[in-house]
Amino acid sequence: MKTLRLILGDQLNQNHSWFSNKDENIIYVLMEMMQEQEYVTHHIQKICCYFAAMEGFSDFLKSNSHRVNYMKLDDEENHQKLEDNLNSLIKKFEIEKFEYILPDEYRLDEQLKKYCNTLSIDSDYIDSEHFLNSRNSVQELFAQKKSFLMETFYRKMRKDHKILMDGEEPIGGKWNFDAENRKKYDGKVSVPDELIYNNNLSSQKKRIDKMKVNYFGNIEEEKVNHPINRAQGLMALNHFCEKLLPHFGTYEDAMTEKFSILFHSRISFALNTKMIHPKEVISAVTSAWENNLPTITIAQVEGFVRQVIGWREYMRGIYWAKMPEFANLNYFNHQAKLPDWFWTGKTKMNCLHHCISNSLDNAYAHHIQRLMVIGNFCLLTEINPNEVDEWYLGVYIDAIEWVEITNTRGMSQFADGGIVGTKPYISSANYIDKMSDYCKNCHYDKKLKTGELACPFNSLYWDFYHRNRESKLRLNQRVSMMFNLLEKMDKNELKEMLDHANSIKKNIEIL
Ligand code: FAD
Ligand code: SF4
């Protein structure tokens, strides 16, 4: 039977069972389409890397004697919409069956389901074979419970997959080494040179410009520094295991003006496009630890494993349990607009200047920059979660809705009212100063709460608790201590702070 098999841009898994047999009657199709450039405005590096990775994957299949049809964005035959392109290919190749790999995005999942209903030929789908869990794992695990605790999920994952376990007990005697991790970077440990790929993506950029795709962010198109094929993804993984893992956990939450990546792995694009598999990531990391005891401590490796088999799999579970409703949640009813400087990085707030500029230059920021600087600011200034989501979904190289929206709308904006996290992740200048060196060179004063030079985070922080105390957070035990402090605060001091916070929100464009 002549079969057309669709491979989406984030389904570049060389080891998928589809490719274990060669069959002349199977045609694989990969398509660059305007539809994927228009649902949100993306960072230019993200679009170039996707196209380059897809082209590389098509070459891999061809070199392994598979039949492949690769449609470039500027091909004359490209109708720019999934259904139209598939229809014309089905006609052209006289296809008798259509097959696809289950998408990870709700939007595409719905689109493909609907499309298959319109077909007069047979259709079928297959699992992506990428994750350690089924799509509905979180829902199944927490059936009949109102809240979904990541910690419960993570411990079950460790036990089920026998990762860092000694029988039924966690290796090291603890599930969590946070107390030993999360230190400020003091410069005493040297940071290894960044892994450089220097990928030349000018041909991709040329056709993106030719087709007038709307994009943002910066690019040096002859030296793009993200892994665009499996070999480079594995290079990133090896570099991490050899050079970065020994200090990963310790400096996981640290931020510094001097190094934007510090000890983070930068494997998220390779992982999310499925060029590398989470199981091989875990296996490489735990082997590196076993072979380098005691240089690499359990605290470093546990911190990393938690992200990959804990947070990553959990976010996917939450996504499928809660979509499509999740995409419209706005617990605090925030309605403000993102300031224009989110697209330039030009702000006097040094922490935001660094984190946003880094995101615009590299399509990357590490977790704490995303959560405790940029996300923290958005939540405190009451930005509409739709705007926040759109920015995050566009700017980061690794942003695909299933893992972006759960982190942004859920973890960072608490717009889900506490599905992902048990309390809002917010802070004053105190935390940012504790974890970074940003405050030293800032126009604003981290200690001041009011006045022209006061750090905006300080008054905004108390304004947030004051505003939401009665209406939204009254029953949340995890923040009750803050309400006690608020209660004890001098009334005049509080009023001054609330007035200052309001003026900051009004003047957000010129901060
Ligand atoms: P490392 O710090 O080296 O961590 C290793 C891997 O663990 C990552 O590659 C990633 O696959 C996984 N991981 C770590 N934290 C998380 C998490 N919270 N959720 C899911 N996986 C995690 N990650 C994305 O992949 N895509 C996104 O669009 C995305 N958006 C985010 C938005 C916000 C507001 C926040 C707070 C976090 C977001 N994250 C997202 C999670 C995390 O910030 C990135 O996975 C990480 O920064 C990628 O860099 P790395 O590969 O160097 O990660
Ligand atoms: Fe950021 Fe405030 Fe510190 Fe400036 S003083 S870097 S605005 S936290």
Three-state secondary structure string covering 199-245: ECCHHHHHHHHHCCCCEECCCCCCCECCCCCHHHHHHHHHHHHHHHH
pTM score of the predicted model? 0.97
Do 213 and 35 contact (CB within 8 A), yes or no?
no
Write out pLDDT tens, residues 367-392: 999 999 999 999 999 999 999 999 99
Pocket residue to mutate for ligand 1, from 244, 268, 405, most atoms within 8 A of Cβ: 268
Q: Which of 503, 505, 484, 506 is nearest to 495 (CA)?
A: 503
**What is the average per-residue pLDDT within 236-262?**
95
Q: Which atom of ligand 1 is nearest to the CA of 400?
A: 28
Strands 97-101 vs 3-6: parallel, antiparallel or unpaired: parallel
Cross-strand pairs, 216: 43
Amino acid at 58: S
Write out pLDDT tens, residues 394-405: 999 999 999 999
Query: Ligand 2 centre and the CA of 471: distance in Å?
Result: 29
Cross-strand pairs, 445: 454
Write out pLDDT tens, residues 288-344: 999 999 899 999 999 999 999 999 999 999 999 999 999 999 999 999 999 999 999
Do 24 and 48 contact (CB within 8 A), yes or no?
no
How far, in whole angstroms, is CA 461 from its chain's centroid? 25
pLDDT at 256: 96
Q: Which of 445, 49, 493, 494 is nearest to 229 (CA)?
A: 49
Write out pLDDT tens, residues 253-274: 999 999 989 999 999 999 999 9
DSSP classification of residue 68? E
pLDDT greater than 80 at residue 112: yes
> Could you tell me if residue 172 is left (phi over 0), alpha (psi between -120 and 50 degrees) or otherwise beta?
left
Q: Which atom of ligand 2 is nearest to the CA of 349?
A: 7
pLDDT at 140: 85
**What is the average per-residue pLDDT within 484-503?**
95
pLDDT at 474: 85
Q: Which two tokens stand for residue 318?
A: 């939450």
Q: Which of 359, 357, 41 is nearest to 212 (CA)?
A: 41
Q: Which of 230, 272, 311 is nearest to 238 (CA)?
A: 230
pLDDT at 21: 94
Pocket residue to mutate for ligand 1, from 407, 413, 414, most atoms within 8 A of Cβ: 407
H-only helix segments in 369-455: 376-380, 385-395, 401-405, 429-435
pLDDT at 42: 98
Amino acid at 509: E
pLDDT at 179: 82
The average confidence (pLDDT) of the chain is 96
pLDDT at 139: 81
pLDDT greater than 80 at residue 252: yes
Share of the chain above pLDDT 90, in %: 93
Share of the chain above pLDDT 70, in %: 100
Strands 215-216 vs 67-71: parallel, antiparallel or unpaired: unpaired
Q: What are phi and psi of 380, to 5 degrees?
A: -70, -30
**What is the average per-residue pLDDT within 8-35?**
97
pLDDT at 138: 81
Do 45 and 394 contact (CB within 8 A), yes or no?
no
Q: Which of 416, 419, 421 is nearest to 331 (CA)?
A: 416
Pocket residue to mutate for ligand 1, from 131, 252, 307, most atoms within 8 A of Cβ: 307
Q: Is 183 helix (H, G, I), strand (E, B) or coil?
A: coil
How far is the C-alpha of 465 from the C-alpha of 115, rounded, in Å?
47
Look-up of token digits 């003091």: 186
pLDDT at 141: 84
Q: Is 5 helix (H, G, I), strand (E, B) or coil?
A: strand
Cis peptide before 385 (omega within 30 of 0): no
Q: Which two tokens stand for residue 424?
A: 């809002």
Q: Is 432 helix (H, G, I), strand (E, B) or coil?
A: helix
Would you state the torsion angle of the CA atoms of residues 395, 396, 400, 402, taken in this order, to the nearest 10 degrees? -100
pLDDT at 136: 86
CA angle 347, 353, 356 (to 5 degrees): 115
pLDDT greater than 80 at residue 146: no
DSSP classification of residue 142? T
Do 253 and 182 contact (CB within 8 A), yes or no?
yes
pLDDT greater than 80 at residue 212: yes
Would you state the torsion angle of the CA atoms of residues 218, 216, 438, 239, taken in this order, to the nearest 10 degrees? -60
Pocket residue to mutate for ligand 2, from 341, 353, 433, most atoms within 8 A of Cβ: 433
Q: Which of 51, 52, 53, 49 is nearest to 362 (CA)?
A: 49
Would you state the torsion angle of the CA atoms of residues 440, 442, 447, 452, taken in this order, to the nearest 10 degrees? 160
**What is the average per-residue pLDDT within 477-482?**
89
Do 404 and 392 contact (CB within 8 A), yes or no?
yes
Residues in the chain: 511
pLDDT at 480: 87
The residue whose CA is least distant from atom 20 of ligand 1 is 312
Query: Ligand 1 centre and the CA of 308: distance in Å?
Result: 9
Cross-strand pairs, 26: 3
**Residue 456, exposed/middle/buried by CB under 10 A (0-12, 13-18, 19+)?**
buried
pLDDT at 147: 76
Q: What are phi and psi of 27, to 5 degrees?
A: -115, 125
Q: Which of 34-43, 59-68, 177-186, 414-423 has the lowest mean pLDDT?
A: 177-186
The residue whose CA is least distant from atom 2 of ligand 2 is 455
Q: In sequence order, which residues have a C-beta less than 8 Å from that of residue 81 and are 6 or more positions away? A: 33, 34, 35
**What is the average per-residue pLDDT within 337-353?**
98
Q: Which atom of ligand 1 is nearest to the CA of 267?
A: 51
Q: What are phi and psi of 177, to 5 degrees?
A: -115, 30
Query: Ligand 1 centre and the CA of 196: distance in Å?
Result: 20
Half-sphere exposure at residue 253, Cβ-oriented, CA atoms within 13 angstroms: 16
Residues with CB under 6 A from ligand 1: 264-268, 271-272, 307-308, 311-312, 315, 366-367, 370-371, 375, 392, 396, 398-399, 403-404, 407-408, 411-412
DSSP classification of residue 175? S
